[in-house]
Amino acid sequence: CGASGFCGDTRAHCSPMEGCQLGCDSKYCPPAGCPDASFRHFGSGWCGDGDCGGSETCITCIDDCGPCQARGIVRHCLEPRTMALTFDDGPTDATSLLLDILASRGVNATFFVVGSMVHKRWDVLKRAYDEGHLIASHSFSHSDFATLDAATIRDELANADYAISQAACIRTRLFRPPYGSLTAEGQALVEDLGYKVVLWDLDTRDWALSHDLKPEEMLAAVRHDIRTLDPGGIIHLQHDLTEASVALVPAVIDIALEEGYRFVSVDECVYGKEGERSAAAEASLAFTRGECAPPTYKQLSPPEVYEELLGFVALRSKTRHVALALGEVATVPLDMQLPDSVATNVDFTFAWRLSSYPEGMPAGARDNAVLRGNRPVAT
């Protein structure tokens, strides 16, 4: 709902976790209600709005997409005799059990999470992050990227990025395509959006535990593969989908330790040890971090809000449209003031939307701004 009780179908009106917000006068609600609040089209392409959308890339908008990374797929760790435990497809009910196991063993892992699952269990994801595990993207809906067009790939990554940033206040730029499936064109696009593609070289095949694979067979295969890959740096693949698979993690840890391996997270596999990383690697990691620093807020009086609004209209001279929170759209010629019917609503509508934002926020990003985590996002 808008501050004055009006409904709408924008991000300002829909909660990313719960869909349409309640408490509005139903006569103002769109007939069909809000669209799917968990999947959106990030198509503005406005550099500085916090979303890598439209035609933005790591070349054209480093602020939204992050710095470009070295191209190429990562399948193993840089340092010999290191192993990264990675878990795909969560968070699920089994993830909490897995976190308990990892905590008891003092081992950090990497979670390639599915955005639609994050919406359902964001608290589990935040726990994983708070306990020192690395969070990476595994798309939003777990679709086969080899079958998707460029626009859908963009939306899959942007929606997963949004879900993760809402839960853990980070913007990961490590990505594993579902099923490991990615065309050359798809890989180029993913890399253009600032991501590093990470696969694996030790597949536990734990998904087959629900079919004909026996636990002892899986563990024997893990030991065999570790010895075959020795002394290489290993990226392991498992899933936190079922308790049957998660229950075998202590045994996997024991096998790796018995074979002389040290556990690392995928960022060390990709970028190297802290203190030994390149400037480019540090830039990518810096983009990921720091989303939750408390912002400094600036309060605006209604006249100042009005000035900000007019400044936005002048800035966006191509469209000259301003969407108010109460659902009204005003067309504003550059040499005219806002219509009185709109201007009189500024104090209780735009004052609600624009009265506070972080100091130093670019003027163009102040229109209809909301805080995504603690990052301003123009809606």
What does the longest C-alpha to C-alpha distance in the chain come to?
Answer: 76
Q: List beta partners, residue 329.
A: 323
Answer whether 168's CB lies under 8 Å from 176's CB. no
Nearest to 40 by CA among 13, 7, 8, 16: 16
Other beta carbons within 10 angstroms of residue 67's beta carbon come to 18
| CB distance 292 to 373 below 8 Å | yes
CA torsion sign for 172, 358, 159, 88 is positive
- Cβ pair 68, 281 in contact under 8 A: no
CA dist 42 → 49, 97, 186 (Å): 10, 34, 18
Active site (annotated) includes residue 225: no
Sign of the dihedral defined by the CA atoms of residues 59, 285, 271, 280, in that order: positive
Phi, psi of 241 (to 5 degrees): -95, -35
Structure tokens at 70: 């070295």
Catalytic residue selected from 138, 239, 267, 367: 239
236 catalytically annotated: no
CA 190 to chain centre: 14
Pick the catalytic residue from 51, 88, 161, 267.
Answer: 88
Where in the sequence numbering do the catalytic residues fall?
A: 88, 239
